[in-house]
Chains A and B, each alone.
Chain A
Amino acid sequence: MATRGGPSRRVPENDSTIAYVQADGLAVMKIVKHCHEEAASNMDIAQGALLGLVVDNRLEITNCFPFPKHTDDTMDEEEYQLAMMRRLRRVNVDHFHVGWYQSADVGNFLSLPLLESQYHYQTSIEESVVVIYDSQKSSRGFLTLKAYRLTQQAIEMYKEGEFTPETLLKLKVGFENLFVEVPFVIKNSALTNIMMSELAEMVPEEQGSKFLDLGTASVLEGQLRCLMDRVDELNQEAIKFNRYQQLVSRQQQDKHRWLQKRSQENAARAAKDELPLPEEDVNKLFRPHPVPPRLNPMIIAGQINTYSQHISQFCSQSLAKLYITQALQNAKESKTTI
């Protein structure tokens, strides 16, 4: 944990009290197990709660438990959480609820329900984070756990409740400022390390090298298809917004013309000594069109951003693998030509 000399009152721009998230191996393994089992049985999203405590400027996650699926209504969700936490308290597990986790498929975790839930969590518990587990990437060999928090601007924007372009402009919120990623670290106790060294002898060595697989086409196709869908959606939103803008400008022109006509008529009547026409409320005649909310396009833009980032990362590591095989091939060539 880096300690800067002097007071660390220098708060980063989003006023975060958390510098990084530290998770126990136990929490990591439980998240992996739960999300993997959910993904294997049905493609639902797996969710659960994170338990731990806050120490200095890091958030420690020491345990977690999964949430039941929403289809089961026999017990209320709140009750389940409370019952679970009470039970865990009996065995001395930290019972401070510090956040929640969710499984996701590459980049598409950024959605309205996620924003809402994280907003509620962060307003009630100041330091809460949402941990996203990427099931697709992890099953291919790259364990991906990321912790996110809403930025201060995002919270304010959500509080306002409306997502017009003016509010966004005022708060300077773009899709890049919605979430901030918090560094994620894993730490284990000494006894756990001993246990793992025992395990290492029992787990066969060949397992765990699946990520060296060269077959990239299928994965890339799937990801590109998702990306194309998102881009289409964003396009639709952009078309909607453009249409709205055109309507508004046409409305402005109509208003102008009407006002001019009115003043002309009034002038004509004044010239003929007639009473001027009563002033009518301009706005009642030309109702203002509702502004389309900008939240959805912002979310979609965020998703596209994550997708493209993932894809370029994926391509770079596939390139690395290809170059390794090239080295092997070259070695083979030089052997045969000797």
Chain B
Amino acid sequence: MALNHLNLTVKIHPVVLFQIVDAYERRNADSHRVIGTLLGSSDKGIVEVTNCFCVPHKEYADQVEAELSYAMDVYDLNRRVNSSENIVGWWATGNEVTNHSSVIHEYYSRECNNPVHVTLDTSLQGSRMGLKAYVCVSLGVPSGKQGCMFTPIPVEISCYDPEVYGLQLCSKTMSTGAARGRNVQPMLDIAQVSEAGSKMSVLLEQVLTYVEDVLANRVPADNAVGRSLLDLVNSVPHMSNEQFSEMFNSNVKDLLMVVTLSQLLKTQLQLNEKLTLLTSV
């Protein structure tokens, strides 16, 4: 079976996963599984999923009911906001691909070309929330019965830059000891820089201990690591002392001057306010 035409990779944005977890948490009391539509764009073997929404459905022993008109409605509403997002597949929570999945998949293959099926294991089998993606590959003997099989394809996470920062901020709500998550506030700039500084010093500590271990022959030396360490050290720009202090001082002077000016502006504004409130026409 020529699977090389299926060099599909799925790139998912974090928003989609947040949405899936939220939909699962808000499901009706009698549903075990939630399904929904994936939106995004598909290009040259890479399917990029940027959005999704939940579709109400009910599963019985031998059949599935899903509100397809609802799905079309929400898709239309979404197109008004973002016209570049198309249906690229569908998602479901849970660990496995069931019979019902193939029925739903058939519906989605009418909506789009080669839909992708993503599962997020919210039941936490094997203590992990597994994220898997599948496409449906038809198989069977040409003259005999045709069937289809869900084949796994690789999944990656891709983010816009601000999404990465958002994710980093949100991940601070995870705390190691507490049973419930903490609250987190968007941080002040300086706090973030200082945190990065301490992170950097921790990383440097790790590197130093590794180097010392290697020198004391406690750990076997690894050439690749050594070479990347050399790159690291050389990446600090070579500047003589005078050059550096010149650059440093001029930058510091500029920044301090701007700070003074902006504080001056603020004081003047406040003074102006007081004066205008004092005067009467």
Contact = CB atoms under 8 A, between A and B. Distances in A.
Nearest to A133: B162
Interface stretch (A149-157, A178-186, A264-272, A275-283): A178-186
Interface stretch (A10-18, A120-128, A301-309): A301-309
B185 A184 contact: yes
Nearest to B166: A32
B277 A315 contact: no
Interface string A29-73: 110111111001000000000000000000000110011110010
Contacts of B68: none
A84 interface: yes
Interface residues of B, number: 93
B265 A227 contact: yes
A305 B262 CA distance: 9
Contact of A166 (B160, B187, B281): B281
Interface string B5-25: 000000001110111011111
Contacts of A108: none
Contacts, number: 278
B181 A188 contact: yes
A13 to B, nearest CB: 17
A332 B236 contact: yes
A9 interface: no
Contacts of B30: none
A191 B157 contact: no
A224 B255 CA distance: 12
B167 A211 contact: no
Contact of A322 (B157, B168, B248, B279): B248
Contacts of A78: none
A contact face: mostly helix, strand, loop, or mixed: helix
Contacts of A316: 189-190, 259
A308 B270 CA distance: 13
Interface in A182-197: 183-197
A110 interface: no
A192 B173 CA distance: 10
Given A22-B183, A315-B255, A305 B80 contact: no
A110 to B, nearest CB: 13
Interface in B62-78: 67, 70, 73-74, 77
Given A80-B77, A90-B70, A199 B189 contact: no
B81 A29 contact: no
Given A143-B162, A184-B186, A75 B279 contact: no
A72 B80 contact: yes
Nearest to A169: B277
Interface residues of A, number: 111
A32 B185 contact: no
B217 interface: no
Interface in A141-172: 141-146, 164-166, 168-169, 172
Nearest to B27: A92
Contacts of B273: 174-176, 301
B161 A210 contact: yes
A200 interface: yes
A240 to B, nearest CB: 13
B197 interface: yes
Interface in A64-97: 66-69, 72, 74-75, 80, 83-84, 87, 90-93
B173 A187 contact: yes
Contacts of A296: none
A209 interface: yes
11 contacts: A25-B173, A29-B14, A66-B81, A143-B186, A175-B269, A187-B181, A195-B18, A203-B167, A312-B259, A322-B248, A322-B255
Given A142-B187, A194-B124, 16 more contacts: A26-B21, A29-B163, A30-B19, A33-B15, A34-B81, A138-B165, A186-B173, A192-B170, A199-B157, A203-B159, A208-B167, A227-B262, A231-B265, A241-B276, A307-B262, A316-B259
